[in-house]
Structures are given as C-alpha cells and as structure tokens.
Amino acid sequence: MVDKKQNIWTPKERNLLETLDTPRKIQDYLDDIKYDPSDGARSPRITIKERKSHCFGGALLAAAALRYHGKPPLILDLECSKGEDEDHVLAIYKQNGYWGAVSKSKFAVIRFRDPVYKNLRELVMTFYEFFFNSKGKKTLRTYSNPIDLTKFDDDWMISENTLDNLEDHLFKIQHHNILTPKNVNAVNKVDQKLLELGFIGVDKGMYSY
C-alpha cells in the first residue's frame, strides 16, 4: 500500500522514494550520503536535495520512505548521559510483528537492525554495548516512546526550514530508563578492541567526547 500523501513530493523525489521500498534499501541510501554534524532537524526534502544529514535528518527521511510504502512513520530517541555523548534518533518499523530500525550515524555499529525484536526495549538494548564515547564510556541511558509523525502536518516531510517544533517535542516526551541507580556504577568501560573498531572510519574532528 502506497501512502496517499505521495502527491506532496516532486517527480524527482518520488522517483527516489519508489526505489526505497525496503528498510535495507533505505539504510543503504543513508549510508551512501554524507554525514553532516551540523545538520539540525532538516526535512527529508532538504536531505534528499543536499544528500547529507545527521541522525535526526536521516531518521526523518527513513520514516518518510517507510510511510511512502505504507508503513507508519515512527521515530525513537536514544538519550545519552548528559555532557558525555550525543543522542541518537532511529526510524523504527515492524515486520511480521517484530521491530527493526534504520538510522544515519557516523558509527557503523549503531545503524541498521533487522526486524527480529519482540519489543522496543529489546531492540534498544542491542545498541547499549555499542553506544560509547571516545573515552570508552558506555553512555546510553534512556529511550523515548515512539513518535508517530502522522500526528504532525506534512510540513515535516517537505519544509525548507528547520523543524524546531518536532525537535522540541522529541526532548519533551517520556523516556524510559535503561539503568537503575544501583547498577550505574556496575557499568564497565568498552573493551579496547571494540573501542578501536567503533571508531574505524570516523573523523575524530566530528567527535568532542
């Protein structure tokens, strides 16, 4: 089922979205465009035009492509410990009753997830061991409830302006703790080999933690 909102797209945009008919193809497209640390909350239209984004813009494009092909446009926020890392945004989807994820990241290990997870916490926890900063500290702390983007007007897909209202909403919605106060101190640093692996291909100038 193709989304009825497809008429908001230009012919060139529709041609692209037609090709992004599976989550894996969407992920391959996101992997192919440039990572832009200064992206901001840009619409899919801007991301397609400029062929660059960071995680938020990438998640919105993925959600738009999923919607184009009949899936709900859902995003989810992964929140880190304050001042120690950067949050991450995923586009999430269900297939045969199981959750998967698509995302844009400069780190290869926190991008795509196959739809094999029974619930969202199970999905989120696959990111935990790989969500670390340059000092080897594991920083993932909370995850949000899903945001259904159909509750926003079509502007989130085609706006030429930054989507500040959507970004603000992402920070305000309920988040669920991953760690309890008692087990925070039990968290170990990342193994050195995994730390090195995680930073393969990463421009250290993009990373301040």
Q: Where are the domains of the chain?
A: 4-206
Would you identify the CATH topology of the domain 4-206? C8orf32 fold (3.10.620)
pLDDT at residue 95 in the model:
96
| pLDDT score, position 110 | 94
- Hey, is 110 helix, strand or coil? helix
Sign of the C-alpha dihedral computed for residues 196, 199, 201 and 206 taken in this order = negative
- Quote the pTM value: 0.93
| Residue that has been written with the tokens 């087990």 in this structure | 183
Q: What is the pLDDT of residue 7?
A: 83
Q: Look up residue 126 and give its amino acid.
A: T
DSSP element (H, E) containing 12: helix 11-19
Is the separation of the CB atoms in 123 and 92 below 8 Å?
yes
- Walking along the chain (209 residues) 10 residues at a time, the average pLDDT comes out as 72 97 98 86 95 95 97 96 90 97 93 98 96 92 96 90 90 92 88 88 65
pLDDT score at 84: 85
